[in-house]
């Protein structure tokens, strides 16, 4: 949704070096410009609207008093001098007038009675348009191209628009989104696995169609709500988003609404529509099998939810939620002023410019600008890096192009602006600025690459018994009986669970019948046809072997304890009377009298632990008792790699920190091989109430101090090597 421009209050000095360039201009507001009063944070403002072009501009009452006095007959200087005599305290300064006229001229809200010689206005206009053009050229986010007016299509369906944006529609929206959220939660694992191929070649057409559909609905939702409250929607166009053409509408007429909650509804309409569409798509996706509808629904679900929650729904990016926030807190140009606030801090405290103007007018604004500026900067980098990594994972070449564009726009261009400012600064100021930046860079270099900092590895793991016997079914069977409950002590040979398999019983009866038949045939062959003795004896031996195997399988259905210990089967009772597949784990018998902690050491961190430190320097904290460090007797690294996790609780699916293979249904196969570190406890070092096999925890192992920058460089190299093979 396209938004209009906001003006700022005028606080600059009275005189300007550029004044002579605009003083003799004869200028006035366009006759189509109308004004209406608004209040922000208790302060009066005036909203200017061009009824022809539907452009908006917000100014202070003092600035509007000056603009209203411009009639095209008197010069700018004559109007300003007259206003300064009558209202010396409320007249904007000359620099403010030059800036205001430049911004209004850029917004096409002014007309000149004669060809102007306002070099200051023209120069500011040229620089502003040059900056906008370069920003659009270098930005991989979007370009915009208006196409046609939308109002004539919306006017005939106004009753339908009111029905779609009223309270009943809100109740329907809430029910559908709740249904979709519950469905997404139930299928969270499948959604995560499917998202990995979102940018694959086969899925790109579906992704583009889904994005187009979602954005059409998004933009129409803005237009519908704007139209509901009497606003006009003059433009429907196309924006190029990441090289893909998508629709947009100009709903900037919402700025003319007096009620800020109505303006907020217009801004939020697109996100609400996307979430509604994503919820419907999620339900359809979960209810359909592989095919066209299934693929399309999945892409709509992903695009609608991610777009709403990460981009449009986050006020730290300049999309819908940002404009809603700045409007509700009544702080126009929040993003620009937050940037200017941090520029003020740097200019005043770093470069020594004590007179540098501060955007904030009071403590409340200062807190907002400072906090928002820092959070927006960090979030912008987090989202940018996340998008770059995701795109590079799928399309490395495009990811590199986007990375180069990001470096140009977010690093080189700000550095070039700083360099230009330094070249134009006075000698004393330039010396102070260069010294301050040099000292800051030197301090940063010392901190990152010279000063060694203590560091420790946090290794997730679980308590495990040295003697443990996991039990599996050797054949599919039905659980009939559980004489022993989970957590009970058992003796070797004690019956733990009994299964039955009618299929195996019938198979045994059939084999026994075949054995009896073969023996009878063998007796007849002995008396009449000796040539058949060999084949019959071989068949009898095979049947006897099959019977022994079947009897063994039937006997294994009576699950018995292979050792003394504790029976651990927390979920087996839920399957009483149900079938359990072959090779599925039934439970395990563990000896709690001898436990150790097994931790996962990723390959990337293995080089840090070429030699294990003394056990006394390591700390082990178990879940639920994070405040208590347990005493350890020794640490040992198992000298070979493994990929099977000690417990599903260590993987992502079980709430742990280790990435697991998406094709592993058990959740115990790590995505990358790792090393195991075993920590043994001192006598009485493990409290009895914590001696639970499978309890998770974190082992903290200190490593040699190293500068932070060296660790960051090593981490980036490992990332590039593991993800991209560089």
β-strand partners of 378: none
Q: What is the pLDDT of residue 284?
A: 92
Q: What is the pLDDT of residue 131?
A: 54
Least confident of 79-83, 241-245, 553-557, 640-644: 241-245
**pLDDT tens digit string along 466-488?**
777 888 888 888 998 889 888 88
Q: For the whole model, what pTM was predicted? A: 0.58
Mean predicted lDDT score pLDDT of the chain: 79
**pLDDT tens digit string along 259-306?**
888 888 988 898 999 999 999 999 999 888 888 888 888 889 988 888
Mean pLDDT of 369-383: 87
Q: Do domains 19-135 and 459-465+594-724 have the same CATH topology?
A: no
Least confident of 471-485, 637-651, 709-723: 709-723
| CB 552, CB 462: distance < 8 Å | no
Name the residue with higher pLDDT: 503 or 420. 503
pLDDT at 243 over 90: no
Q: What is the pLDDT of residue 174?
A: 94
**Alpha helices per DSSP H over 450-588:** 502-527, 533-556
Q: What is the pLDDT of residue 571?
A: 79
Q: What is the pLDDT of residue 687?
A: 67
Q: What is the pLDDT of residue 120?
A: 46
Residues 6+ apart with CB under 8 A from 373: 338, 339, 341, 342
Angle at 633 between CA 627 and CA 635, to 5 degrees: 95
**Which of helix, strand or coil describes residue 146?**
strand
Q: What is the pLDDT of residue 118?
A: 46
Highest mean pLDDT among 48-57, 428-437, 453-462: 453-462
Mean pLDDT of 124-147: 55
**Which of helix, strand or coil describes residue 93?**
coil
Mean pLDDT of 708-724: 75
The upper half-sphere exposure of residue 104, i.e. CA atoms within 13 Å in the direction of its Cβ, equals 25
**pLDDT tens digit string along 81-115?**
888 888 777 777 777 787 777 777 766 677 776 65
Q: What is the pLDDT of residue 519?
A: 85
Residue ranges per structural domain of the chain:
19-135, 143-332, 387-451, 459-465+594-724, 468-586
The backbone region for 243, taken as left when phi is positive above 0, alpha when psi lies in -120 to 50, beta otherwise, is: left
Class of domain 459-465+594-724: mainly beta
The CATH code of the domain at 19-135 is 3.90.930.60
pLDDT at 430 over 80: no
């Amino acid at each position: 949704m396209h938004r209009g421009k906001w003006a700022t209050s005028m606080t600059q000095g009275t005189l300007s070096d550029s004044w002579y360039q605009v003083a003799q201009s004869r200028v006035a507001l366009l006759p189509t410009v109308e004004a209406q009063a608004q209040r922000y944070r208790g302060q009066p403002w005036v909203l200017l609207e061009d009824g022809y072009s539907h452009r908006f501009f917000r100014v202070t009452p003092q600035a509007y008093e000056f603009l209203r006095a411009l009639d095209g007959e008197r010069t700018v200087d004559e109007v300003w001098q007259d206003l300064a005599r009558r209202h010396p305290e409320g007249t904007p300064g000359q620099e403010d007038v030059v800036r205001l006229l430049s911004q209004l001229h850029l917004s096409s809200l002014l007309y000149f009675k004669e060809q102007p010689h306002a070099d200051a206005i023209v120069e500011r206009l040229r620089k502003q348009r040059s900056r906008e053009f370069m920003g659009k050229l270098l930005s991989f986010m979007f370009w915009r191209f208006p196409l046609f007016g939308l109002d004539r299509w919306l006017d005939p369906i106004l009753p339908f628009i009111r029905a779609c944006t009223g309270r009943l529609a809100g109740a329907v929206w809430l029910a559908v989104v709740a249904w979709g959220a519950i469905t997404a939660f139930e299928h969270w694992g499948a959604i995560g696995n499917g998202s990995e191929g979102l940018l694959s070649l086969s899925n790109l057409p579906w992704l583009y169609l889904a994005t187009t559909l979602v954005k059409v609905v998004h933009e129409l939702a803005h237009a519908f709500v704007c139209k509901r409250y009497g606003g006009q929607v003059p433009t429907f166009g196309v924006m190029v988003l990441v090289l893909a053409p998508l629709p947009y509408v100009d709903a900037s007429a919402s700025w003319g609404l007096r009620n800020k909650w109505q303006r907020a509804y217009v801004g939020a309409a697109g996100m609400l529509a996307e979430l509604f569409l994503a919820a419907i798509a999620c339900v359809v996706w979960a209810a359909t099998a592989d095919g066209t509808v299934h693929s399309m629904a999945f892409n709509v679900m992903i695009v609608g939810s991610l777009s709403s929650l990460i981009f449009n729904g986050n006020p730290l990016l300049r999309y819908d939620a940002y404009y809603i926030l700045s409007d509700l807190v009544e702080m126009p140009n929040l993003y620009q002023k937050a940037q200017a606030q941090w520029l003020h801090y740097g200019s005043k405290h770093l470069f020594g410019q004590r007179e540098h103007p501060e955007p904030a007018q009071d403590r409340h604004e200062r807190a907002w600008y400072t906090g928002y500026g820092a959070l927006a900067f960090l979030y912008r980098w987090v989202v940018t890096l996340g998008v770059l990594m995701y795109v590079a994972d799928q399309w490395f070449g495009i990811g590199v192009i986007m990375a180069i564009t990001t470096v140009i726009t977010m690093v080189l261009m700000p550095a070039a602006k700083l360099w230009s400012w330094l070249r134009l600064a006075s000698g004393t100021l330039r010396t102070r600025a260069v010294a301050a930046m040099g000292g800051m860079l030197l301090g940063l270099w010392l901190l990152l690459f010279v000063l060694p900092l203590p560091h420790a590895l946090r290794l997730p793991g679980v308590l495990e018994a040295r003697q443990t016997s996991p039990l599996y079914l050797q054949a599919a069977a039905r659980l009939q009986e559980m004489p022993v409950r989970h957590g009970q002590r058992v003796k070797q040979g004690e019956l733990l669970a009994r299964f039955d398999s009618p299929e195996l019983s019938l198979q045994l009866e059939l084999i026994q019948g075949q054995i009896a038949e073969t023996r009878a045939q063998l007796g007849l062959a002995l008396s009449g046809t000796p040539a058949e003795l060999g084949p019959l004896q071989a068949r009898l031996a095979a049947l006897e072997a099959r019977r022994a195997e079947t009897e063994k399988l039937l006997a294994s259905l009576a699950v018995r304890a292979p050792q003394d210990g504790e029976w651990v089967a927390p979920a087996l009772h839920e399957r009483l009377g149900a079938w359990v597949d072959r090779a599925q784990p039934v439970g395990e018998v563990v000896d709690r009298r001898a436990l150790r902690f097994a931790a996962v050491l990723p390959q990337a961190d293995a080089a840090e632990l070429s030699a294990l430190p003394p056990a006394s320097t390591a700390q082990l904290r178990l879940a639920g008792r994070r405040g208590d460090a347990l005493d350890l007797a020794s640490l040992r690294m198992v000298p070979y790699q493994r990929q099977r996790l000690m417990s599903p609780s260590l993987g992502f699916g079980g709430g742990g920190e280790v990435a697991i293979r998406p094709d592993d249904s058990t959740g115990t196969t790590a995505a990358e091989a790792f090393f195991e570190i075993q920590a043994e406890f001192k006598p009485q070092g493990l409290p009895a109430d914590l001696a639970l096999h499978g309890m998770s925890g974190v082992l903290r192992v200190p490593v040699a101090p190293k500068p932070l920058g060296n660790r960051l460089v090593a981490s980036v190299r490992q990332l590039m090597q593991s993800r991209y093979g560089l």
